[in-house]
Amino acid sequence: MPNREWPRSMATLREDAMTEKTDAPRPSRRRFLTGAAGLVAAGAAGAARADEKNLPPNIAPWSKTLGDGVAVRPYGQPSKFEKDVIRRDVQWLTASRESSVSFTPLHELDGIITPNGLCFERHHGGIAEVDPHDYRLMIHGLVDKPLIFTLEDLKRLPRVNRIYFLECAANSGMEWRGAQLNGCQYTHGMIHSVMYTGVPLKLLLEQAGVKPNGKWLLVEGGDASGLDRSLPLDKALDDCLVAYRMNGEMLRPEQGYPVRLVVPGWQGNIWIKWLRRIEVGDEPWYTREETSKYTDLMPNGKARKFTFVMDAKSVITSPSPQAPIRNKGFLVISGLAWSGRGKVARVDVSLDGGRNWRTAKIDGPVLDKSLVRFYAEIEWNGEPLLLQSRAMDETGYVQPTKDELRAIRGVNSIYHNNGIQTWSVKANGEVENVEVG
Amino acid sequence: MSKWASLVAGCALLLAAPAFAQSAKPRNYGIGTPATPQQIAGWDIDVRPDGEGLPPGKGSVKDGEKLFLERCAACHGEFGESAGRWPQLAQGKGTLATNDPVKTVGSYFPYASSVFDYVRRAMPFGDAQSLTNDELYAVVAFVLNLNDIVDDKFVLSKETWNQVKMPNADGFYNDDRETAEKAFWNKNPCMKDCRAPVKITGHASVIDVTPDDKTARKGGVE
């Protein structure tokens, strides 16, 4: 049987391993098996999967017969050949899928914009299906005039367009004790980046009139978890948006349709989806989500609270475990970098596990609290690599190594793991998530 | 003031005027309708550590135990020990600084309101906001009792709220990354021979917990 898929699927390998009556550790057998396929011949990229009938000098059927006309696909979908470019979840992570997370397939994407259907999901009570006619946003508390806005009201107000990344504070949280998940979709996929259209939160608060003793907001979702968080007023007045569009179209249900809060640079948990209520108060509420969760437990048993900002971070998305190298020769290393403190200033790439660094090329817009795309071009001829990337932001913050983080925070803080990721590249092009020391 | 001086001052004022105009009087767009007290009362369910927002009513540990067994124990276990992967609610004292911290209402939550507010809006999971105020007080009283925070006879209400003392109330401090992790700010990070030759110390494949998915490893750098 021709080896069209490379490497062999994990499921097949698992079956092989399970039928094997031996005490030998499975991983070594898996390594052996995955190594069996490997690199394609030089200069024949993609050839292994092609059908001769469609290649020159032959004429492919799509060149001879008519395809679908307009409006056959009234809402366009990706090509059927891209069906594997999907969000995936890790079922053992949580008790139920209604309170779980799915991950963005970062290894399949380029540029800085995440397609709407691929933006990672994190729900606490499933996806609320809010009827836009019955949508209401209430603003009350320490205000002069408590107000209710309909969706139509919000759409009538002046709006702005901003591209921001949204990263879950628990992104890479499974990696504190060591390399665990084999794929950047799982290690770093709790992030997405889209252009939001929305009303500045400041403008809405001005309509209600915040009283002088107003210092904090309670922001609350309309889903079955009623997720509520305390947001400092200063941040609300700075750059927060009440958004109803992503990448031009209305928000997707799983992203909070019809209205979500945008809190640039801050942990995703506070970007309240299905936003139903904003209460102005004079102190924080200390809700479950900002005490029992989203606090960072330190080695001495005390925990940091209100760790809102997402520190500078980066990851090489290709090559990576789900995107192995298939050709020797010229290779573009590609990745993403971001910082919740502002703009990314620079990204460095290392091929030897952080011993030596070269500065990568950033291509595309470099925006405040947004993803940037970086590339590093190398010649690769089968030598083992320990690939790393290191982001720096405009405040001078340099992405630390995982060990530097652990030295301060231990391994129990769950959140805010922005340590440098290492991918081990094997001679056959296979890539693995590893820890280095 | 001389004529010149007042002229200069006037110019300065003119230059600064646009900035003042922006912050002085925000525009009222006349969009949005007043929220009535009745509307607000229906949605305003949050509760703060100081008890602000608590509804009328009360509930005993005893009543809470019965309710907990009916409505909560399937996920949280009869003693709050957790069933499956659902959150554990009790035990865990003294574990926060260990290798295996167990965060529960008793060991970790700083305030009773953090529990009360959450149960009021989100529990039981999948049947949110179905408890009466008395039931809510009772269930929270029982969860506190499971953690030895209140005794068996305790009745939780607005009046008894301040008697509840949470063990880990002082277990939190404000984000101090900008000082505690100041070393991460470095304008000139090392570029050459930054460390000794690097060794691989851990493999994800050995942990072997990545989901099996036939479609997950489709791609490649071509």
Count of Cβ atoms closer than 10 Å to residue B12 Cβ: 10
Chain segment B86-104, per-residue pLDDT in tens: 999 999 999 999 999 999 9
**pLDDT tens per residue across span B172-219:** 999 999 999 999 999 899 999 999 999 999 999 887 788 865 554 434
B142 close to B152: Cβ distance less than 8 angstroms: no
Chain A partners within 8 Å of B199 (Cβ):
436-437
Q: Please indicate, yes or no, if residue A67 is contained in any of the structural domains.
A: no
Q: Tell me whether B215 touches chain A (CB under 8 Å).
A: yes
Q: Examine the fold and report which residue of A304, A329, A348 is the final residue of a domain before the chain moves on.
A: A304
CB A435 within 8 A of CB A419: no
Q: Nearest-CA distance from A320 to chain B in Å?
A: 9
Query: Amino acid letter at B208?
Result: D
Domain shared by A280 and A329, yes or no = no
Beta bridge partners of A241: A200, A262
Mean of the pLDDT values across residues A143-170?
98
User: Quick one: A428 and A356 in the same domain?
Assistant: yes
Q: What angle in degrees, to the nearest 10, is found between the helix axes of B61-71 and B133-146?
A: 90
In a domain, A216, yes or no: yes
Judged by CB atoms closer than 8 Å, whether chains meet at A355 and B110 is answered as no
> What is the SS3 assignment for chain B?
CCHHHHHHHHHHHHHHHHHHHHHHCCCCCCCCEECCHHHHHHHCCCCCCCCCCCCCCEEEHHHHHHHHHHHCHHHHCCCCCCCCCCCCCCCCCCCCCCCCCCCCCCCCCCCHHHHHHHHHHHCCCCCCCCCCHHHHHHHHHHHHHHCCCCCCCCEEECCCHHHCCCCCCCCEEECCHHHHCHHHECCCCCCCCCCCCCCEEEEHHHHCCCCCCCCCCCCCEC
Here the tokens at position A77 are: 């979908």
Q: How far is CA A423 from the centre of its chain?
A: 18
CATH number of residue A392's parent domain = 2.60.40.650
User: Do residue A278 and residue A317 come from a single domain?
Assistant: no
Residue B205 to residue A27, Cβ atoms within 8 A: yes
Within this chain, do residues A273 and A129 fall inside the same structural domain, yes or no? yes
- Asked if residue A95 belongs to a domain, the reply is no
Q: Is residue A4 part of a domain?
A: no
CATH number of the domain enclosing A270: 3.90.420.10
B61 within 8 A of B152, measured Cβ to Cβ: yes
What's chain A's average pLDDT?
91
The pLDDT value given to residue A29: 32
Domain ranges in chain B are: 48-157
Which residue has better confidence, A93 or A88?
Answer: A88
Q: Helices A10-19 and A26-34 meet at what angle, rounded to 10?
A: 130
pLDDT band at A297 (very low <50, low <70, confident <90, very high): very high
Residue A389 located in a structural domain: yes
pLDDT, chain B, mean: 89
Q: Is residue A11 part of a domain?
A: no
Whether A103 and A120 have beta carbons less than 8 Å apart is answered as: yes
- 3-state class of A207 per DSSP? helix
Show the domain range for A153.
Answer: 121-304
A411 with A322, same domain?
yes
CB contact (8 A) between residue A11 and residue B213:
yes
Section A33-42 average pLDDT = 50
How far from chain centre, in Å, is Cα B211?
A: 29
Residue A237 and residue A202 share a domain: yes
Distance CA B204, CA A436 (A): 12
Side chain identity, residue A115: P
Q: Is A3 within the bounds of a domain? A: no
Residue of A nearest to B104 (CA): A292
Whether residue A362 sits in one domain with residue A262: no
Report the pLDDT value the prediction gives residue B208, as an integer from 0 to 100: 75
Query: Would you state the CATH architecture of domain B48-157?
Result: Orthogonal Bundle (1.10)
Q: Are A155 and A270 within one domain?
A: yes
Judged by CB atoms closer than 8 Å, whether chains meet at A322 and B219 is answered as yes
Residue A378 has phi, psi (to 5 degrees) of: -135, 165
The C-alpha atoms of residue B134 and residue B158 are separated, in whole angstroms, by: 11
Residue-level pLDDT at B84? 87
Q: Tokens 């550790």 — which residue?
A: A25
Q: How far apart are the C-alpha atoms of A231 and A178, rounded to whole Å?
A: 33
Report phi then psi at A134, rounded to 5. Answer: -100, 10
Helices (H) and strands (E) in chain A, counts: 7, 24
The total domain count for chain A is 2
- Residue A91 located in a structural domain: no
Chain B residues near residue A99 by CB distance under 8 angstroms: 125
Whether A185 sits inside 8 A of B43 (CB atoms) is no
Same domain, A291 and A322: no
Q: Give me the helices (H) in A215-258, please.
A: 233-238
